[in-house]
A and B are shown apart, each in its own frame.
Chain A
Amino acid sequence: MDGADDPEAQFCAYVAARGTALLRTSYLLTGEIHLAEDLLQTALTKTYLAWGRIRDKGALDGYVRQIMVNTLTDWWHRRWRRERPTAELPDAVLPDSAAATVERQRLWAQLEALPQRQRAVIVLRYYEDLSEAETARVLDCSVGTVKSQAHRALSTLRARLGDEAASEEVLRDL
Protein backbone atom coordinates (compact mmCIF):
# COMPACT_ATOMS: atom_id res chain seq x y z
CA MET A 1 0.00 0.00 0.00
CA ASP A 2 1.28 3.46 -0.83
CA GLY A 3 2.11 5.27 2.36
CA ALA A 4 0.13 8.29 1.26
CA ASP A 5 -3.05 6.20 1.32
CA ASP A 6 -2.25 4.30 4.49
CA PRO A 7 -4.24 5.75 7.40
CA GLU A 8 -1.62 4.67 9.89
CA ALA A 9 1.15 6.34 7.95
CA GLN A 10 -0.96 9.46 7.50
CA PHE A 11 -1.69 9.55 11.20
CA CYS A 12 1.96 9.09 12.15
CA ALA A 13 2.96 11.86 9.80
CA TYR A 14 0.35 14.14 11.25
CA VAL A 15 1.42 13.44 14.83
CA ALA A 16 5.06 13.93 13.93
CA ALA A 17 4.27 17.28 12.39
CA ARG A 18 1.75 18.60 14.88
CA GLY A 19 2.30 16.65 18.09
CA THR A 20 4.42 19.25 19.84
CA ALA A 21 2.10 22.13 18.97
CA LEU A 22 -0.92 20.16 20.17
CA LEU A 23 0.85 19.10 23.35
CA ARG A 24 1.60 22.74 24.11
CA THR A 25 -2.07 23.59 23.73
CA SER A 26 -2.97 20.64 25.91
CA TYR A 27 -0.52 21.82 28.55
CA LEU A 28 -2.02 25.29 28.59
CA LEU A 29 -5.48 23.78 28.93
CA THR A 30 -4.55 21.46 31.78
CA GLY A 31 -1.62 23.17 33.48
CA GLU A 32 0.06 19.84 34.19
CA ILE A 33 2.37 18.12 31.77
CA HIS A 34 1.44 14.50 32.55
CA LEU A 35 -2.23 15.28 32.36
CA ALA A 36 -1.55 17.18 29.14
CA GLU A 37 0.10 14.11 27.62
CA ASP A 38 -2.81 11.93 28.72
CA LEU A 39 -5.30 14.38 27.28
CA LEU A 40 -3.51 14.63 23.95
CA GLN A 41 -3.05 10.88 23.72
CA THR A 42 -6.75 10.38 24.34
CA ALA A 43 -7.68 13.01 21.75
CA LEU A 44 -5.31 11.62 19.13
CA THR A 45 -6.52 8.08 19.73
CA LYS A 46 -10.09 9.17 19.22
CA THR A 47 -9.00 11.01 16.11
CA TYR A 48 -7.31 7.93 14.72
CA LEU A 49 -10.36 5.79 15.45
CA ALA A 50 -12.42 8.26 13.42
CA TRP A 51 -9.75 8.76 10.75
CA GLY A 52 -11.73 7.28 7.91
CA ARG A 53 -14.70 9.53 8.62
CA ILE A 54 -12.71 12.76 8.67
CA ARG A 55 -12.97 14.12 5.16
CA ASP A 56 -11.18 17.41 5.59
CA LYS A 57 -7.76 16.39 6.81
CA GLY A 58 -6.73 20.03 6.61
CA ALA A 59 -9.01 20.72 9.56
CA LEU A 60 -7.46 18.08 11.79
CA ASP A 61 -6.02 20.56 14.27
CA GLY A 62 -9.45 21.96 14.98
CA TYR A 63 -10.86 18.47 15.33
CA VAL A 64 -8.21 17.44 17.84
CA ARG A 65 -8.56 20.69 19.77
CA GLN A 66 -12.29 20.16 20.03
CA ILE A 67 -11.81 16.63 21.34
CA MET A 68 -9.29 17.86 23.88
CA VAL A 69 -11.64 20.53 25.19
CA ASN A 70 -14.59 18.14 25.33
CA THR A 71 -12.57 15.39 26.99
CA LEU A 72 -11.17 17.77 29.55
CA THR A 73 -14.67 19.03 30.31
CA ASP A 74 -15.76 15.43 30.75
CA TRP A 75 -12.90 14.77 33.16
CA TRP A 76 -13.86 17.83 35.15
CA HIS A 77 -17.44 16.70 35.32
CA ARG A 78 -16.34 13.32 36.64
CA ARG A 79 -14.20 15.02 39.18
CA TRP A 80 -17.31 16.84 40.33
CA ARG A 81 -19.40 13.70 40.45
CA ARG A 82 -16.86 12.11 42.69
CA GLU A 83 -17.47 14.97 45.08
CA ARG A 84 -13.87 15.99 45.08
CA PRO A 85 -13.74 19.64 46.10
CA THR A 86 -13.07 22.18 43.44
CA ALA A 87 -9.59 23.52 43.59
CA GLU A 88 -9.05 26.71 45.48
CA LEU A 89 -5.45 27.72 45.14
CA PRO A 90 -3.57 28.10 48.38
CA ASP A 91 -2.04 31.52 48.76
CA ALA A 92 1.43 30.09 49.11
CA VAL A 93 3.77 30.72 46.20
CA LEU A 94 6.65 28.43 45.49
CA PRO A 95 9.84 30.00 46.80
CA ASP A 96 12.13 31.36 44.12
CA SER A 97 14.83 33.92 44.36
CA ALA A 98 14.26 35.34 40.92
CA ALA A 99 11.56 37.97 41.07
CA ALA A 100 10.57 37.55 37.46
CA THR A 101 10.05 33.84 37.95
CA VAL A 102 7.94 34.41 41.00
CA GLU A 103 5.74 36.86 39.13
CA ARG A 104 5.49 34.51 36.19
CA GLN A 105 4.34 31.81 38.55
CA ARG A 106 1.86 34.26 39.93
CA LEU A 107 0.26 34.90 36.57
CA TRP A 108 0.40 31.21 35.75
CA ALA A 109 -1.30 30.39 39.04
CA GLN A 110 -4.04 32.89 38.27
CA LEU A 111 -4.54 31.40 34.82
CA GLU A 112 -4.77 27.97 36.38
CA ALA A 113 -7.33 29.25 38.85
CA LEU A 114 -9.69 30.35 36.11
CA PRO A 115 -12.75 28.18 35.53
CA GLN A 116 -11.97 25.56 32.95
CA ARG A 117 -14.17 27.08 30.28
CA GLN A 118 -12.71 30.56 30.69
CA ARG A 119 -9.22 29.16 30.62
CA ALA A 120 -10.00 27.34 27.37
CA VAL A 121 -11.23 30.58 25.84
CA ILE A 122 -8.02 32.36 26.86
CA VAL A 123 -5.81 29.59 25.47
CA LEU A 124 -7.72 29.30 22.21
CA ARG A 125 -7.99 33.04 21.65
CA TYR A 126 -4.55 34.17 22.77
CA TYR A 127 -2.33 31.16 22.25
CA GLU A 128 -3.96 29.43 19.32
CA ASP A 129 -4.91 32.82 17.92
CA LEU A 130 -8.34 31.58 16.91
CA SER A 131 -11.03 34.07 16.04
CA GLU A 132 -14.05 34.40 18.26
CA ALA A 133 -16.09 32.42 15.74
CA GLU A 134 -13.48 29.65 15.54
CA THR A 135 -13.26 29.51 19.32
CA ALA A 136 -17.03 29.26 19.53
CA ARG A 137 -16.97 26.32 17.13
CA VAL A 138 -14.37 24.46 19.19
CA LEU A 139 -16.25 25.09 22.41
CA ASP A 140 -19.62 24.46 20.80
CA CYS A 141 -21.09 27.69 22.06
CA SER A 142 -22.13 31.06 20.68
CA VAL A 143 -19.77 33.89 19.78
CA GLY A 144 -21.48 35.93 22.48
CA THR A 145 -20.55 33.32 25.05
CA VAL A 146 -16.93 33.40 23.92
CA LYS A 147 -16.91 37.17 24.27
CA SER A 148 -18.45 37.11 27.71
CA GLN A 149 -16.16 34.32 28.93
CA ALA A 150 -13.09 36.14 27.65
CA HIS A 151 -14.27 39.36 29.26
CA ARG A 152 -14.85 37.64 32.58
CA ALA A 153 -11.49 35.89 32.45
CA LEU A 154 -9.61 39.10 31.72
CA SER A 155 -11.52 40.96 34.40
CA THR A 156 -10.72 38.23 36.89
CA LEU A 157 -7.05 38.26 36.00
CA ARG A 158 -6.95 42.01 36.24
CA ALA A 159 -8.65 41.99 39.62
CA ARG A 160 -6.56 39.19 41.04
CA LEU A 161 -3.32 40.70 39.94
CA GLY A 162 -4.17 43.82 41.82
CA ASP A 163 -5.22 47.21 40.57
CA GLU A 164 -4.23 48.34 37.13
CA ALA A 165 -1.06 50.09 38.17
CA ALA A 166 0.16 47.19 40.26
CA SER A 167 -0.76 44.83 37.50
CA GLU A 168 1.29 46.82 35.00
CA GLU A 169 4.23 46.72 37.32
CA VAL A 170 3.91 43.02 37.89
CA LEU A 171 3.61 42.19 34.24
CA ARG A 172 6.31 44.49 33.00
CA ASP A 173 8.97 42.07 34.13
CA LEU A 174 7.51 39.10 32.32
Chain B
Amino acid sequence: MNDLEQRIIRHLNDQVTSIQAPSDLAGRCLRRAEAVRRRRRATAVAGVAAAAAVVVAGVAVLAGLRPGGGPDRHTPPATHPAPTTTRLAPPFGVPDYPDPAPFQPWFRSLPQGELNETFVGLPHGPTFQYQGVTYRRPGPSGSVIPFGVTVQGLLAALLHGKPGVGRDFDTRVILLLPDGTFRTLATGRLGEATGRPGDGPHPGGVARVSADGTRVAYALIPAGSTTEVATVTAQDLRTGQRWTKTSGRYASVTGWSGNDVVVITPGPSSQLWAPDRGSTRTFGRRTSLTPAGPASDRLLSGAWDGYGRCRSVISSANFDTVYQGCDADEPMMISPDGRWVLLGAWKIRDLDTGSVLPFSIQPPGVGPLNELAPGDAWQAVRWDDERHMLFAFQDPLLPRGELGLVRCDVEGRCERASQP
Protein backbone atom coordinates (compact mmCIF):
# COMPACT_ATOMS: atom_id res chain seq x y z
CA MET B 1 0.00 0.00 0.00
CA ASN B 2 1.52 3.31 -1.02
CA ASP B 3 1.57 6.59 0.85
CA LEU B 4 -1.41 8.03 -0.97
CA GLU B 5 -3.55 5.02 -0.10
CA GLN B 6 -2.49 5.11 3.55
CA ARG B 7 -3.28 8.80 3.78
CA ILE B 8 -6.65 8.31 2.17
CA ILE B 9 -7.45 5.73 4.81
CA ARG B 10 -6.46 8.09 7.58
CA HIS B 11 -8.39 10.89 5.96
CA LEU B 12 -11.58 8.85 5.60
CA ASN B 13 -11.39 7.77 9.22
CA ASP B 14 -10.77 11.35 10.36
CA GLN B 15 -13.84 12.51 8.48
CA VAL B 16 -16.25 10.24 10.33
CA THR B 17 -14.96 10.17 13.87
CA SER B 18 -17.60 12.58 15.15
CA ILE B 19 -20.53 10.97 13.34
CA GLN B 20 -23.01 9.08 15.48
CA ALA B 21 -26.23 7.42 14.41
CA PRO B 22 -29.40 9.09 15.76
CA SER B 23 -30.74 7.31 18.79
CA ASP B 24 -34.13 6.63 17.21
CA LEU B 25 -32.80 5.34 13.89
CA ALA B 26 -34.33 1.89 14.31
CA GLY B 27 -37.68 3.39 15.30
CA ARG B 28 -37.74 5.61 12.23
CA CYS B 29 -37.02 2.64 10.00
CA LEU B 30 -39.71 0.55 11.65
CA ARG B 31 -42.30 3.30 11.23
CA ARG B 32 -41.34 3.75 7.63
CA ALA B 33 -41.47 0.02 7.01
CA GLU B 34 -44.93 -0.10 8.51
CA ALA B 35 -46.04 2.73 6.22
CA VAL B 36 -44.66 0.85 3.24
CA ARG B 37 -46.55 -2.27 4.21
CA ARG B 38 -49.76 -0.30 4.54
CA ARG B 39 -49.28 1.15 1.10
CA ARG B 40 -48.45 -2.22 -0.39
CA ARG B 41 -51.64 -3.60 1.03
CA ALA B 42 -53.57 -0.68 -0.39
CA THR B 43 -51.89 -1.17 -3.76
CA ALA B 44 -52.77 -4.83 -3.74
CA VAL B 45 -56.43 -3.93 -3.26
CA ALA B 46 -56.18 -1.39 -6.07
CA GLY B 47 -54.51 -4.03 -8.23
CA VAL B 48 -57.53 -6.28 -7.91
CA ALA B 49 -59.71 -3.41 -9.09
CA ALA B 50 -57.34 -2.73 -11.98
CA ALA B 51 -57.39 -6.39 -12.98
CA ALA B 52 -61.14 -6.22 -13.12
CA ALA B 53 -60.88 -3.17 -15.33
CA VAL B 54 -58.51 -5.05 -17.64
CA VAL B 55 -61.03 -7.85 -17.96
CA VAL B 56 -63.68 -5.33 -18.89
CA ALA B 57 -61.34 -3.72 -21.39
CA GLY B 58 -60.50 -7.12 -22.84
CA VAL B 59 -64.13 -7.84 -23.37
CA ALA B 60 -64.44 -4.52 -25.15
CA VAL B 61 -61.48 -5.30 -27.41
CA LEU B 62 -62.88 -8.71 -28.26
CA ALA B 63 -66.16 -7.05 -29.07
CA GLY B 64 -64.29 -4.68 -31.36
CA LEU B 65 -62.76 -7.63 -33.25
CA ARG B 66 -66.06 -9.15 -34.20
CA PRO B 67 -66.63 -9.49 -37.97
CA GLY B 68 -67.30 -6.13 -39.49
CA GLY B 69 -66.51 -4.40 -36.25
CA GLY B 70 -62.74 -3.94 -36.28
CA PRO B 71 -61.05 -1.38 -34.12
CA ASP B 72 -61.70 2.08 -35.38
CA ARG B 73 -58.90 4.51 -35.97
CA HIS B 74 -59.55 6.26 -32.71
CA THR B 75 -58.70 3.18 -30.68
CA PRO B 76 -55.14 2.42 -29.59
CA PRO B 77 -53.99 -0.90 -31.03
CA ALA B 78 -53.58 -3.89 -28.77
CA THR B 79 -49.80 -3.50 -28.70
CA HIS B 80 -50.28 -0.39 -26.65
CA PRO B 81 -52.11 -1.04 -23.40
CA ALA B 82 -54.96 1.27 -22.67
CA PRO B 83 -53.83 4.19 -20.56
CA THR B 84 -54.53 4.42 -16.89
CA THR B 85 -55.67 7.95 -16.31
CA THR B 86 -56.01 9.20 -12.79
CA ARG B 87 -57.84 12.46 -12.51
CA LEU B 88 -57.07 14.18 -9.27
CA ALA B 89 -59.49 16.02 -7.12
CA PRO B 90 -59.56 19.81 -7.07
CA PRO B 91 -57.63 22.11 -6.75
CA PHE B 92 -56.01 20.60 -9.84
CA GLY B 93 -59.00 21.08 -12.03
CA VAL B 94 -57.62 23.42 -14.62
CA PRO B 95 -59.44 23.62 -17.94
CA ASP B 96 -59.56 20.42 -19.89
CA TYR B 97 -57.09 19.67 -22.59
CA PRO B 98 -58.32 20.10 -26.15
CA ASP B 99 -59.99 17.07 -27.60
CA PRO B 100 -57.49 14.81 -29.28
CA ALA B 101 -57.44 14.59 -33.02
CA PRO B 102 -57.99 11.17 -34.58
CA PHE B 103 -55.49 8.70 -33.25
CA GLN B 104 -52.80 7.62 -35.65
CA PRO B 105 -50.90 4.48 -34.81
CA TRP B 106 -47.61 5.92 -35.93
CA PHE B 107 -45.51 3.47 -33.92
CA ARG B 108 -46.58 0.58 -36.07
CA SER B 109 -43.99 1.80 -38.51
CA LEU B 110 -41.19 1.45 -35.99
CA PRO B 111 -38.57 -1.23 -36.17
CA GLN B 112 -38.85 -3.87 -33.50
CA GLY B 113 -39.23 -2.54 -30.02
CA GLU B 114 -41.31 -2.62 -26.91
CA LEU B 115 -43.99 -0.16 -26.05
CA ASN B 116 -45.24 -0.93 -22.65
CA GLU B 117 -44.00 1.01 -19.68
CA THR B 118 -45.62 3.38 -17.27
CA PHE B 119 -44.41 6.84 -16.41
CA VAL B 120 -45.35 9.67 -14.20
CA GLY B 121 -46.31 12.84 -15.96
CA LEU B 122 -46.94 16.27 -14.57
CA PRO B 123 -47.90 18.14 -17.69
CA HIS B 124 -49.55 21.46 -17.67
CA GLY B 125 -53.25 21.13 -17.96
CA PRO B 126 -54.94 18.43 -15.94
CA THR B 127 -52.57 16.59 -13.68
CA PHE B 128 -52.52 12.92 -14.39
CA GLN B 129 -50.54 9.78 -14.39
CA TYR B 130 -50.41 8.27 -17.77
CA GLN B 131 -49.60 5.03 -19.37
CA GLY B 132 -46.56 6.24 -21.18
CA VAL B 133 -44.79 4.64 -24.05
CA THR B 134 -41.22 3.60 -24.26
CA TYR B 135 -39.22 2.29 -27.07
CA ARG B 136 -36.47 -0.24 -26.56
CA ARG B 137 -33.71 -0.09 -29.07
CA PRO B 138 -33.21 -3.38 -30.89
CA GLY B 139 -30.57 -5.70 -29.56
CA PRO B 140 -29.83 -7.47 -26.29
CA SER B 141 -28.57 -4.35 -24.54
CA GLY B 142 -31.02 -1.96 -26.12
CA SER B 143 -31.59 1.04 -23.95
CA VAL B 144 -35.09 2.15 -23.16
CA ILE B 145 -36.08 5.60 -24.31
CA PRO B 146 -39.04 7.12 -22.54
CA PHE B 147 -41.38 9.62 -24.08
CA GLY B 148 -42.78 12.53 -22.25
CA VAL B 149 -41.04 12.17 -18.92
CA THR B 150 -39.11 15.38 -18.94
CA VAL B 151 -40.98 18.08 -17.16
CA GLN B 152 -40.17 20.84 -19.54
CA GLY B 153 -40.64 18.69 -22.62
CA LEU B 154 -44.05 17.80 -21.28
CA LEU B 155 -46.31 16.32 -23.84
CA ALA B 156 -44.31 16.81 -26.96
CA ALA B 157 -42.00 14.17 -28.25
CA LEU B 158 -39.92 13.71 -31.31
CA LEU B 159 -39.60 10.48 -33.14
CA HIS B 160 -36.80 9.29 -35.32
CA GLY B 161 -38.55 6.62 -37.25
CA LYS B 162 -37.25 4.03 -39.61
CA PRO B 163 -34.01 4.94 -41.31
CA GLY B 164 -34.42 6.28 -44.75
CA VAL B 165 -31.76 6.72 -47.35
CA GLY B 166 -28.60 8.41 -46.23
CA ARG B 167 -29.47 11.17 -43.81
CA ASP B 168 -33.06 11.41 -44.83
CA PHE B 169 -34.64 10.11 -41.64
CA ASP B 170 -38.32 9.67 -41.26
CA THR B 171 -38.89 12.04 -38.38
CA ARG B 172 -42.20 12.73 -36.74
CA VAL B 173 -43.29 15.17 -34.13
CA ILE B 174 -45.91 13.60 -31.94
CA LEU B 175 -48.03 14.88 -29.14
CA LEU B 176 -48.77 12.72 -26.14
CA LEU B 177 -52.24 13.54 -24.91
CA PRO B 178 -53.55 13.33 -21.39
CA ASP B 179 -55.57 10.24 -22.17
CA GLY B 180 -52.44 8.41 -23.28
CA THR B 181 -53.08 8.64 -26.99
CA PHE B 182 -50.94 10.39 -29.55
CA ARG B 183 -51.28 12.79 -32.37
CA THR B 184 -48.82 13.19 -35.21
CA LEU B 185 -48.24 16.88 -35.77
CA ALA B 186 -45.65 16.94 -38.50
CA THR B 187 -43.16 14.88 -40.43
CA GLY B 188 -39.84 15.87 -41.84
CA ARG B 189 -36.28 15.15 -40.95
CA LEU B 190 -33.44 16.30 -38.79
CA GLY B 191 -29.88 17.03 -39.63
CA GLU B 192 -27.21 14.41 -39.24
CA ALA B 193 -26.03 16.05 -36.06
CA THR B 194 -29.03 14.84 -34.13
CA GLY B 195 -29.24 11.15 -34.82
CA ARG B 196 -28.23 8.09 -36.72
CA PRO B 197 -30.34 5.84 -38.89
CA GLY B 198 -32.22 3.37 -36.76
CA ASP B 199 -31.77 5.37 -33.60
CA GLY B 200 -35.41 5.11 -32.84
CA PRO B 201 -37.47 7.76 -31.11
CA HIS B 202 -36.03 10.62 -29.15
CA PRO B 203 -38.06 12.20 -26.41
CA GLY B 204 -38.67 15.89 -26.05
CA GLY B 205 -35.72 17.93 -27.10
CA VAL B 206 -36.92 19.48 -30.25
CA ALA B 207 -40.68 19.77 -29.84
CA ARG B 208 -41.97 21.76 -26.89
CA VAL B 209 -45.40 22.55 -25.55
CA SER B 210 -46.01 26.00 -24.08
CA ALA B 211 -46.43 26.24 -20.35
CA ASP B 212 -50.18 26.79 -20.61
CA GLY B 213 -50.51 23.73 -22.85
CA THR B 214 -52.13 25.57 -25.74
CA ARG B 215 -49.29 25.70 -28.24
CA VAL B 216 -46.50 23.52 -29.49
CA ALA B 217 -43.35 24.46 -31.37
CA TYR B 218 -40.85 22.34 -33.23
CA ALA B 219 -38.16 22.61 -35.84
CA LEU B 220 -37.74 20.24 -38.75
CA ILE B 221 -35.88 20.23 -42.00
CA PRO B 222 -38.50 19.80 -44.71
CA ALA B 223 -38.31 16.53 -46.57
CA GLY B 224 -36.36 16.96 -49.79
CA SER B 225 -34.43 19.99 -48.59
CA THR B 226 -30.75 19.97 -49.44
CA THR B 227 -29.71 22.93 -47.35
CA GLU B 228 -30.24 21.59 -43.80
CA VAL B 229 -32.07 24.80 -42.99
CA ALA B 230 -34.83 24.06 -40.52
CA THR B 231 -38.31 25.44 -40.51
CA VAL B 232 -39.60 26.37 -37.09
CA THR B 233 -43.30 25.88 -36.62
CA ALA B 234 -45.59 27.07 -33.86
CA GLN B 235 -49.04 25.58 -33.72
CA ASP B 236 -52.10 26.44 -31.70
CA LEU B 237 -53.48 23.15 -30.39
CA ARG B 238 -56.98 24.53 -29.97
CA THR B 239 -57.49 26.12 -33.36
CA GLY B 240 -54.89 24.34 -35.46
CA GLN B 241 -53.45 27.67 -36.64
CA ARG B 242 -49.81 27.45 -37.63
CA TRP B 243 -47.00 29.96 -37.92
CA THR B 244 -43.73 29.09 -39.61
CA LYS B 245 -40.38 30.72 -39.95
CA THR B 246 -37.22 29.68 -41.71
CA SER B 247 -34.39 29.51 -39.25
CA GLY B 248 -30.73 28.55 -39.35
CA ARG B 249 -29.16 25.25 -40.20
CA TYR B 250 -30.07 22.57 -37.68
CA ALA B 251 -32.14 25.00 -35.65
CA SER B 252 -34.08 23.54 -32.77
CA VAL B 253 -36.69 24.69 -30.30
CA THR B 254 -35.82 24.62 -26.62
CA GLY B 255 -38.94 26.07 -25.11
CA TRP B 256 -41.38 28.89 -24.71
CA SER B 257 -41.23 32.19 -22.93
CA GLY B 258 -44.78 33.40 -22.69
CA ASN B 259 -45.98 33.43 -26.26
CA ASP B 260 -42.47 33.53 -27.67
CA VAL B 261 -40.63 30.50 -29.00
CA VAL B 262 -37.04 30.01 -27.89
CA VAL B 263 -34.95 28.84 -30.81
CA ILE B 264 -31.29 27.91 -30.78
CA THR B 265 -29.00 27.25 -33.68
CA PRO B 266 -25.44 26.00 -33.86
CA GLY B 267 -24.58 29.57 -34.69
CA PRO B 268 -23.60 32.11 -32.07
CA SER B 269 -27.01 33.06 -30.85
CA SER B 270 -30.33 32.12 -29.40
CA GLN B 271 -33.52 33.67 -30.63
CA LEU B 272 -36.89 34.61 -29.26
CA TRP B 273 -39.46 34.31 -31.99
CA ALA B 274 -42.88 35.87 -31.51
CA PRO B 275 -45.12 34.03 -34.00
CA ASP B 276 -48.07 36.34 -33.39
CA ARG B 277 -46.06 39.43 -34.21
CA GLY B 278 -43.71 37.82 -36.72
CA SER B 279 -40.71 39.33 -34.99
CA THR B 280 -37.45 37.79 -33.82
CA ARG B 281 -35.00 39.03 -31.21
CA THR B 282 -31.52 37.66 -30.86
CA PHE B 283 -29.61 36.82 -27.74
CA GLY B 284 -25.97 37.55 -28.47
CA ARG B 285 -24.48 34.91 -26.23
CA ARG B 286 -24.46 31.24 -27.11
CA THR B 287 -26.54 29.58 -24.48
CA SER B 288 -29.39 27.22 -24.06
CA LEU B 289 -32.56 28.80 -22.84
CA THR B 290 -35.39 27.02 -21.15
CA PRO B 291 -38.95 28.16 -20.84
CA ALA B 292 -40.78 29.98 -18.15
CA GLY B 293 -44.48 30.23 -17.55
CA PRO B 294 -46.98 31.73 -19.96
CA ALA B 295 -47.05 35.13 -18.31
CA SER B 296 -43.38 35.31 -17.54
CA ASP B 297 -40.93 37.71 -19.05
CA ARG B 298 -38.03 35.64 -17.79
CA LEU B 299 -35.99 32.75 -19.08
CA LEU B 300 -33.63 30.25 -17.58
CA SER B 301 -30.22 30.18 -19.12
CA GLY B 302 -27.91 27.18 -19.00
CA ALA B 303 -24.81 29.12 -19.84
CA TRP B 304 -21.42 28.29 -18.51
CA ASP B 305 -20.01 31.27 -16.82
CA GLY B 306 -16.89 31.59 -14.74
CA TYR B 307 -16.08 28.63 -12.57
CA GLY B 308 -18.24 25.60 -12.60
CA ARG B 309 -21.63 25.31 -14.13
CA CYS B 310 -23.92 28.21 -13.50
CA ARG B 311 -27.42 29.05 -14.59
CA SER B 312 -29.01 32.40 -14.87
CA VAL B 313 -32.41 33.92 -14.96
CA ILE B 314 -32.49 36.41 -17.74
CA SER B 315 -35.08 38.89 -18.83
CA SER B 316 -36.78 37.97 -22.06
CA ALA B 317 -37.33 41.63 -22.80
CA ASN B 318 -33.72 42.72 -22.99
CA PHE B 319 -31.73 39.56 -22.15
CA ASP B 320 -30.26 41.15 -19.03
CA THR B 321 -29.24 38.71 -16.32
CA VAL B 322 -31.67 38.99 -13.44
CA TYR B 323 -30.08 36.39 -11.21
CA GLN B 324 -27.25 33.93 -11.50
CA GLY B 325 -26.67 30.88 -9.36
CA CYS B 326 -23.97 28.29 -9.36
CA ASP B 327 -23.79 24.80 -7.95
CA ALA B 328 -26.61 24.09 -5.50
CA ASP B 329 -28.05 27.59 -5.73
CA GLU B 330 -28.63 27.39 -9.43
CA PRO B 331 -32.12 28.24 -10.61
CA MET B 332 -34.22 25.31 -11.64
CA MET B 333 -37.68 26.49 -12.58
CA ILE B 334 -39.49 29.81 -12.78
CA SER B 335 -43.06 30.31 -11.66
CA PRO B 336 -45.66 31.02 -14.35
CA ASP B 337 -45.73 34.72 -13.58
CA GLY B 338 -41.95 34.94 -13.53
CA ARG B 339 -41.78 36.15 -9.95
CA TRP B 340 -40.47 33.11 -8.13
CA VAL B 341 -37.67 30.76 -9.00
CA LEU B 342 -37.07 27.38 -7.42
CA LEU B 343 -33.36 26.99 -6.70
CA GLY B 344 -31.44 23.74 -6.65
CA ALA B 345 -30.62 24.21 -2.97
CA TRP B 346 -34.30 23.94 -2.07
CA LYS B 347 -34.83 27.61 -1.75
CA ILE B 348 -37.26 29.95 -3.40
CA ARG B 349 -36.04 33.28 -4.64
CA ASP B 350 -38.38 36.19 -5.07
CA LEU B 351 -37.09 37.85 -8.21
CA ASP B 352 -39.07 41.00 -7.53
CA THR B 353 -37.48 41.69 -4.17
CA GLY B 354 -34.35 39.56 -4.27
CA SER B 355 -35.28 37.84 -1.02
CA VAL B 356 -34.70 34.12 -0.58
CA LEU B 357 -37.09 31.90 1.30
CA PRO B 358 -35.93 28.60 2.69
CA PHE B 359 -37.98 25.82 1.25
CA SER B 360 -38.14 22.30 2.45
CA ILE B 361 -40.32 19.29 2.19
CA GLN B 362 -37.89 17.42 4.33
CA PRO B 363 -37.43 15.66 6.53
CA PRO B 364 -39.03 12.38 5.61
CA GLY B 365 -40.32 10.59 8.62
CA VAL B 366 -42.16 13.64 9.90
CA GLY B 367 -45.81 14.49 9.68
CA PRO B 368 -48.03 13.66 6.75
CA LEU B 369 -45.09 13.28 4.39
CA ASN B 370 -43.42 10.52 6.33
CA GLU B 371 -43.69 7.97 3.60
CA LEU B 372 -41.90 10.03 1.05
CA ALA B 373 -38.43 9.58 -0.15
CA PRO B 374 -35.78 12.18 0.59
CA GLY B 375 -36.25 15.52 -1.07
CA ASP B 376 -33.73 14.72 -3.71
CA ALA B 377 -35.69 11.76 -4.99
CA TRP B 378 -38.55 13.57 -6.65
CA GLN B 379 -39.40 12.42 -10.11
CA ALA B 380 -40.95 15.51 -11.48
CA VAL B 381 -41.83 19.01 -10.43
CA ARG B 382 -43.72 21.82 -11.97
CA TRP B 383 -45.37 25.04 -10.94
CA ASP B 384 -49.03 24.37 -10.35
CA ASP B 385 -50.00 28.03 -10.22
CA GLU B 386 -48.31 31.31 -9.41
CA ARG B 387 -47.51 30.31 -5.83
CA HIS B 388 -47.61 26.53 -5.71
CA MET B 389 -45.39 23.74 -6.93
CA LEU B 390 -46.34 20.16 -7.46
CA PHE B 391 -43.82 17.42 -6.77
CA ALA B 392 -44.15 13.80 -7.79
CA PHE B 393 -42.27 11.31 -5.70
CA GLN B 394 -41.58 7.73 -6.41
CA ASP B 395 -40.69 6.13 -3.15
CA PRO B 396 -37.58 3.98 -3.61
CA LEU B 397 -39.04 1.56 -1.13
CA LEU B 398 -42.03 0.82 -3.26
CA PRO B 399 -42.46 -1.06 -6.51
CA ARG B 400 -42.15 1.03 -9.61
CA GLY B 401 -45.12 3.09 -10.54
CA GLU B 402 -46.29 4.05 -7.08
CA LEU B 403 -45.96 7.69 -6.34
CA GLY B 404 -47.01 10.44 -4.08
CA LEU B 405 -47.90 13.98 -5.05
CA VAL B 406 -47.12 16.88 -2.77
CA ARG B 407 -48.25 20.44 -3.31
CA CYS B 408 -46.19 23.15 -1.68
CA ASP B 409 -46.53 26.90 -1.61
CA VAL B 410 -43.59 29.24 -1.89
CA GLU B 411 -43.39 29.54 1.88
CA GLY B 412 -42.82 25.83 2.25
CA ARG B 413 -46.27 24.80 3.41
CA CYS B 414 -46.89 21.39 1.90
CA GLU B 415 -49.76 18.99 1.76
CA ARG B 416 -50.35 15.69 0.12
CA ALA B 417 -52.08 16.20 -3.18
CA SER B 418 -53.20 12.64 -3.64
CA GLN B 419 -52.87 9.21 -2.19
CA PRO B 420 -51.10 6.63 -4.31
Contact = CB atoms under 8 A, between A and B. Distances in A.
Of B20, B28, B374, B396, most A-chain CB atoms within 10 Å: B396
B196 to A, nearest CB: 22
Interface in A52-104: 71, 74-75, 78-79, 81-85, 87-92, 104
Given A38-B364, A83-B150, A90-B308, A23 B36 contact: no
B21 A19 contact: yes
A8 interface: yes
Given A41-B365, A48-B30, A154 B16 contact: no
Of B3, B152, B330, most A-chain CB atoms within 10 Å: B3
Contact of B26 (A11, A24, A37, A39): A11
Given A12-B26, A27-B16, A104-B11, A154 B307 contact: no
Contacts of A87: 327
B8 interface: yes
Interface residues of B, number: 54
Nearest to A157: B4
B12 A123 contact: yes
A60 to B, nearest CB: 13
A35 B374 contact: yes
A140 interface: no
A19 B377 contact: no
A42 B376 CA distance: 13
A146 to B, nearest CB: 14
B5 interface: yes
A167 B6 CA distance: 13
A46 interface: yes
Interface in B351-373: 362-365, 373
Query: What does DSSP make chain A's interface, helix, strand, loop or mixed?
Result: helix
B344 interface: yes
B16 A28 contact: yes
B15 interface: yes
Given A41-B365, A44-B29, A90-B308, A20 B8 contact: no
Interface in B117-149: 149
Interface in B6-24: 7-16, 19-22
A20 B19 contact: yes
Nearest to B22: A37
Contact of B8 (A12, A83, A88, A122): A122
A15 B149 CA distance: 38
B33 A42 contact: no
Contacts of A85: 302, 309, 311, 330
26 contacts: A15-B21, A15-B26, A16-B26, A23-B20, A38-B364, A38-B373, A40-B21, A40-B25, A45-B397, A71-B396, A75-B376, A75-B396, A78-B377, A81-B149, A81-B150, A83-B150, A85-B311, A88-B309, A104-B11, A107-B8, A126-B5, A126-B9, A127-B9, A127-B12, A127-B13, A154-B4
Shortest 4 CB-CB contacts between residues of A and residues of B: A19-B21, A24-B16, A38-B374, A15-B26
Interface of A: 8, 11-12, 15-16, 19-20, 22-24, 27-28, 33-35, 37-42, 44-46, 48-49, 71, 74-75, 78-79, 81-85, 87-92, 104, 107-108, 111, 122-123, 126-127, 154, 157-158, 167-168, 171, 174
